[in-house]
Structures are given as C-alpha cells and as structure tokens.
C-alpha cells in the first residue's frame, strides 16, 4: 500500500470520524485490503458531471465527509468570489440512497458559513434545480444525484449563477478549495436554521408555466386526442413533474409503469436506471404492447435524460438512440419555428462534438447556426450564456439522451423534452402520419433528404486505480501512434483536443481548434467516417464513438443501407480496438 493511501486511512482512524466508518475501515483491513486501497487511493474530483462515486467509506467514495469537504470548499470559493454580496444557494436531490442526507449536510455547512440556502422540500429533477438557481437569483446550486449510474453510486453536481454546471475556471478553482480542506476541523458543520428556506410548489408552478410556454402546436395536440403514451420515471424524480407537464400540455392518455412509478434508490426493477439500456425499458415495452401505445417516454433518476420508443413500420416498438431522438426533435423545432415565422437569422442550436452531424446538416438547411462544443452539457449552457442578448437559442442536445428547449434551464431537461417529443408525435399524427408510420416515417424522410447517419458507442469499463492508469496509457498510445487506417480507409485527419489542434495528414498541415482543451481524440477517414475516443468524466470507462454516413437519396430500402452502415461500424470497432 502506498504511503499516501496509508496516511489517508490513518487520518480517518485518528481524527473524529464517526465510529461506524472506523469500524468499516478495520473490517476492510482484515477482509479486503484491495477494496480499502480503492476507497482511499485518491480524492474524488470534479469531472464533466461534478463529483460522483460509489457510496461508502473513504476519500474516493461518496459519504458525509467527502460531501462535507466539497461543500466547505464550495463555500470558501463563493465567499471569495462574492465578498460584499448576500450569497444564496439552491439545493435539490434525487431518489438515491443517502441523497436527502447529503442534501441536508450541504445545507448545514453552507448555512454555517452564513450562506442563505433554498432547499427543496423533497426530491426534484435536476433541470428544476437549474431553473431554481436562476429564478431565485442564486450564485450557485447543488444537485445531489448520480444521474443514470447504478444504485451503488451517488453524486454532487455544482451549478453557477447562470444555472449551468461549473465550467473553467470555476470548476478547477472549486476543487482547489476542496483540496485545501484536509481536516474535519476546517469544515463548519453546525446548521443555521435561520438561513435555510424550504421551497417546493412555489417554484414548481413557475417552472411548469415556463415549460407550458414552449409549446409550438397546441392545436395539433387537441386534434391528436388518440395519441397513447407510456411513461416510466425508472424509480426517480421524473414522477414529480413529467405527468403534470404532459397533462398541462393536454395529453390525457398517459399510462404509468406502476412498478417503476414509486421513487426508490434501490431501483428494484432494473439493473441500472439508464434509459439508454433496453433492459431498463422492458416493463415499459410490455406496457406499451398491452395498451397499444404510440410512444414510450423514460426518464433517468434525476430526470435530465429521456429515452423514447416508437412504433416502427411493422408495428413493433422500436427504441431510438439519443442521436435519432435528437434528430427528430431538432428537425421538428426548426421546422415549426420556420412555419411560425420565427427564424430571422439570429437563431442558433448547439450540439456536442460526439453528437450526430446530421443535426448540423439540418440546421444548415434551415439557415440556422449549429455550434459544436465539448462533451458535457455544461458547455451547451456556456454557449447559451456567451450568446445571451445577441442570438436566440432554440435547442441543444447530446447523443447521451440529453436535450434542452428554451433557455430558462441551463442543463438538459427531460421534463420539457418529454412534452415537446409528445407534441411532435401529436403533430405528425394530426397531419397525416398515422398508426405505425408516425415518427418512424419522419425519421426515414429525414435520412432520405440529408443522408443516412449511423452512430454507435463502445464503452470499456476499467475500474479502480489500475483502470485509471490503463485508460491513461490507451489515450497516450492513440495520441502518439495514431492509426493509419480505420475500417479499411486511410485516416486523413486527427483532432487532438488536449492541445486544441487539428492535424491534416493528407496535406501535412495543422489548424487551431477554438474550444477549451480536453482529453479527447477524433479520427476522420477518407469515406467520411469518424471515430472519437475519450475517457468518461463520470464513470470508470473509456468511450469510443463511431459515426458513418451514406447518401440515401430517394431509395426506399432504408434497411439495406442501415445494414451496410452497421458493417462499416463493425470494421471500425475491430480496427480501433487492436
């Protein structure tokens, strides 16, 4: 065991940590030294989604002390930034085990530092927390959640005054303050009740009113009265807002997946509460067939991501990936803005660099600027902030099932996305695309007009200290020895976001990438294929994103084109994994 690890362990044994934590350390010393090393080999750091880790004892785990140290660090930074101002922070949490406890601890410490706190009375979605920061004119916000991670995880997302997650320099500055907290005595633990305000329905109402104002086609909803929707919150916070919002839009034929409608941090009906995974939607798919539903909506535990399923041409429910849902949603939004005469030339949309380029093609067709940003919705929020007052934001999204419509929230918002996706389905149903041809036909029409883009994701899990080191070695190898061919095609360009440079191998030139640095690599081949490699900022994984495209034209056989594209992706996977 490394000396630094032993020192951290001894600190927990010698200082005034709770007896139950000390007992657990002693048990692990006897029974599982490797797990003990994993728990203490480092201190949790902020990634693209903030602080996130497995719950348990240790500096590398989510517990009252890592939450306490993070909160004191945040408090210290806020006190430095806003010396002469009254500081306010909003706090919410999801349905995970210990989430309420961590939210209360956060409130305790902030109030002890003479910071005014607005704490939600009970669980609420992440987007509502982002909204509350702006609505209550707070300088910061905290959302206790591990999003779609498995049940053993929890997390701590920090928001700045614009309602977006921390971006440079604030993210690094906060963690620097956290790293300066080395003893329990540095943390102010004693709650100041006078500075803590409980909020709930008052904020709910304003948030829902804002979502109601996003509607583009209330007439279509009234016309498509027979649209049937199955909704599951996957045991999370979505149950507090999504059914209300859908009802408010005029959707009455909503069928809840009752087994998953009760918030439960054990997530008893799923292996992982992730709407990206088919297994999480098995009960919803079953329910949809029972009631002959047209649409499935599924939100993750903190209701910032939404997965959907639609009826395909053969009448079977078909799960869409994040790129497909985003494509449909962006196309619907822009087409309706155009129809309503709202596209005046100063609008823009935003996507991440790993999200389908089909969205950029659609935006170009509507003469709307499409901005590319780094992975992480905080960069979409940053783009909105940078263009505030000069350009109008329409919508933003990323391939990992996160979308945002309008700018009153500054994080992905599954509540508003559910409403607009349902409205989109109602619009097409009301305008001649009936039965099994509803959204599936629209997606095929988009492919025929703009090109058939196919994307896929390969994630390799590398847990623990050894996993972190292995991922670092893999990235170094790709960077220093880029592949000459992928999928049988020559690699003609590499983008290395760690140095903000694009290397054109064919012309032997390089150009600057106007984005912040990030540990991401992209490889482009002669046939238009793209492979992106990046370590996850929230999970112990290295991710490979694949994108291929073929001109579909007016060819009717979309299925045969898809088979060709899948084969191309399979070749890319084999080559990049060598």
**279 catalytic per annotation:** no
- Distance (Å, rounded) from C-alpha 496 to C-alpha 381? 23
pLDDT at position 186 is: 97
Identify which of 37, 117, 40, 39 has the alpha carbon closest to the alpha carbon of residue 71: 117
From the candidates 111, 147, 518, 536, give the one annotated as an active-site residue. 147
Q: What is the pLDDT of residues 74-108, one digit of tens each?
A: 999 999 999 989 999 999 999 999 999 999 999 99
Helix (H) or strand (E) holding 492: strand 489-496
- Distance (Å, rounded) from C-alpha 401 to C-alpha 377? 11
More confident residue, 539 or 306: 306
Residue owning tokens 């003990």: 36
Averaged pLDDT for residues 432-452: 84
Residue percentage of the chain with pLDDT more than 70: 98
- Is 90 exceeded by the pLDDT of residue 43? no
- Distance (Å, rounded) from C-alpha 138 to C-alpha 116? 9
- The DSSP output letter for 501 is E
Query: What confidence tier does 233 reach under pLDDT thresholds 50, 70, 90?
Result: very high
Identify which of 538, 542, 543, 541 has the alpha carbon closest to the alpha carbon of residue 153: 538
CB 419 within 8 A of CB 246: yes
- Is 60 exceeded by the pLDDT of residue 152? yes
Q: ∠ CA 439-443-448 to the nearest 5 degrees?
A: 145
Averaged pLDDT for residues 225-239: 95
Q: What is the pLDDT of residues 473-491, one digit of tens each?
A: 999 999 999 999 999 999 9
- Distance (Å, rounded) from C-alpha 242 to C-alpha 298? 10
Q: Which residues contact 234 (CB under 8 A, 6 or more apart)?
A: 260, 267, 270, 273, 275, 280, 298, 299, 300, 301
Q: Give the least confident one: 23-27, 46-50, 279-283, 560-564.
A: 46-50
pLDDT at position 42 is: 87
pLDDT at position 49 is: 59
- Distance (Å, rounded) from C-alpha 217 to C-alpha 92? 32
pLDDT at position 555 is: 61
Q: Give the least confident one: 49-53, 55-59, 167-171, 488-492.
A: 49-53
Give the tokens for residue 280.
């999480």
- Distance (Å, rounded) from C-alpha 163 to C-alpha 141? 8
CB 334 within 8 A of CB 349: yes
CB 411 within 8 A of CB 382: no
Tell me the pLDDT of the chain averaged across its residues: 94
Residue percentage of the chain with pLDDT more than 90: 87
- Distance (Å, rounded) from C-alpha 529 to C-alpha 522? 10
Averaged pLDDT for residues 247-262: 97
Query: What confidence tier does 577 reach under pLDDT thresholds 50, 70, 90?
Result: confident
62 bridge partner residues: 55
CB 332 within 8 A of CB 309: no
Helix (H) or strand (E) holding 544: strand 541-550
- Distance (Å, rounded) from C-alpha 459 to C-alpha 483? 19
Pick the CATH number of 207-215+225-450 from 3.40.50.1970, 1.25.40.80, 3.40.630.30, 3.40.120.10: 3.40.120.10
What homologous superfamily is domain 42-199 in, according to CATH?
A: Alpha-D-Glucose-1,6-Bisphosphate, subunit A, domain 3 (3.40.120.10)
CB 241 within 8 A of CB 432: no
CATH number attached to the domain at 453-576: 3.30.310.50
Residue 423: C-alpha distances to residues 399, 442, 480, 495 (Å): 21, 14, 48, 38
- Distance (Å, rounded) from C-alpha 242 to C-alpha 440? 24
Q: What is the pLDDT of residues 201-223, one digit of tens each?
A: 999 999 999 999 999 999 999 99
Query: What confidence tier does 63 reach under pLDDT thresholds 50, 70, 90?
Result: very high
- Is 60 exceeded by the pLDDT of residue 48? no
More confident residue, 108 or 557: 108
- Distance (Å, rounded) from C-alpha 232 to C-alpha 297? 7
pLDDT at position 364 is: 98
Averaged pLDDT for residues 502-530: 95
- Distance (Å, rounded) from C-alpha 292 to C-alpha 228? 8
| CATH fold match for the domains 42-199 and 453-576 | no
CB 426 within 8 A of CB 253: no
pTM of the model: 0.94
Query: Domain segments of the chain: what residues?
Result: 42-199, 207-215+225-450, 453-576
Averaged pLDDT for residues 419-448: 87
Query: What confidence tier does 314 reach under pLDDT thresholds 50, 70, 90?
Result: confident
CB count within 10 Å of CB 314 equals 8
Q: What three-state secondary structure class fits 571?
A: helix
pLDDT at position 277 is: 94
- Is 90 exceeded by the pLDDT of residue 452? yes
Residue 17: C-alpha distances to residues 23, 122, 191, 439 (Å): 10, 28, 18, 56
Long-range contacts of 62-65, Cβ-Cβ distance < 8 Å, separation of 24 or more: 62/98, 62/102, 62/146, 62/153, 62/154, 62/155, 62/156, 63/21, 64/18, 64/101, 64/102, 64/105, 65/17, 65/21, 65/184
């Amino acid at each position: 065991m490394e000396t630094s690890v032993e020192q951290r362990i001894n600190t927990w044994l010698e200082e005034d940590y709770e007896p139950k934590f000390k007992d657990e350390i002693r048990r692990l010393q006897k029974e599982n030294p490797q797990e003990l090393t994993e728990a203490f080999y480092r201190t949790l750091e902020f990634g693209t989604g903030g602080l996130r880790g497995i719950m348990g004892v240790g500096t590398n785990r989510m517990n009252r002390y890592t939450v306490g140290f993070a909160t004191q660090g945040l408090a210290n930074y806020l006190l430095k930034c806003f010396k002469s101002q009254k500081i306010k922070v909003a706090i919410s949490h999801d349905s995970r085990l210990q989430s309420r406890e961590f939210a209360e601890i956060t409130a305790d410490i902030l109030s002890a530092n003479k910071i005014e706190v607005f704490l939600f009375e009970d669980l609420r979605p992440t987007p509502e927390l982002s909204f509350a920061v702006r609505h209550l004119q707070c300088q910061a916000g905290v959302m206790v959640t591990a999003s779609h991670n498995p049940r053993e995880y929890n997390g701590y997302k920090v928001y700045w005054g614009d309602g977006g997650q921390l971006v440079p320099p604030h993210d690094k500055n906060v963690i620097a303050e956290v790293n300066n907290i080395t003893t329990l005595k540095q943390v102010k633990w004693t709650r100041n009740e006078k500075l803590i305000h409980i909020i709930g329905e008052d904020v709910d109402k304003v948030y829902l009113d804002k979502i109601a104002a996003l509607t583009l086609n209330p007439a279509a909803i009234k016309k498509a009265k027979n649209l049937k929707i199955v909704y599951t919150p996957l045991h999370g916070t979505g149950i507090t807002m999504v059914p209300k919002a859908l009802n408010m839009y005029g959707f009455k034929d909503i069928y809840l997946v009752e087994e998953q409608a009760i918030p439960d941090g054990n997530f008893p009906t799923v292996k992982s509460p992730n709407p990206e995974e088919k297994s999480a939607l098995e009960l919803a798919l079953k329910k949809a067939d029972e009631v002959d539903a047209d649409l499935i909506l599924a939100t993750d535990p903190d209701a910032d991501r939404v997965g959907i399923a639609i009826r395909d041409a053969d009448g079977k429910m078909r799960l869409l990936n994040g790129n497909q849902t985003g494509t449909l949603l962006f196309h619907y939004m822009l087409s309706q803005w155009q129809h309503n005469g709202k596209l005046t030339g100063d609008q823009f949309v935003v996507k991440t660099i790993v999200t389908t380029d089909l969205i950029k093609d659609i935006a170009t067709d509507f003469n709307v600027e499409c901005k590319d940003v780094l992975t992480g919705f905080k960069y979409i929020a940053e783009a909105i902030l940078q263009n505030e007052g000069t350009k109008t934001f329409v919508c933003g999204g990323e391939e990992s099932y996160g979308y945002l419509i309008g700018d009153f929230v500054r994080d992905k918002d599954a509540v508003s996305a559910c409403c607009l996706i349902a409205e989109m389905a109602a619009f097409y149903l009301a305008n001649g695309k009936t039965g099994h041809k509803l959204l599936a036909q629209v997606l095929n029409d988009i492919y025929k007009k703009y090109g058939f883009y196919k994307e896929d994701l390969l994630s390799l899990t590398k847990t623990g200290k050894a996993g972190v080191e292995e991922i670092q070695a893999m990235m170094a190898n790709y960077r220093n020895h880029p592949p000459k061919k992928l999928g049988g095609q020559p690699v003609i360009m590499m983008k290395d976001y760690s140095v903000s440079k694009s290397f054109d191998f064919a012309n032997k030139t390089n150009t600057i990438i106007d984005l912040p640095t990030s540990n991401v690599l992209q490889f482009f081949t002669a046939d238009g294929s793209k492979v992106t490699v990046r370590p996850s900022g929230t999970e112990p994984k290295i991710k490979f994103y694949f994108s291929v495209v073929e001109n579909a034209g007016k060819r009717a056989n979309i299925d045969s084109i898809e088979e060709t594209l899948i084969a191309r992706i399979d070749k890319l996977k084999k080559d990049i994994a060598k």
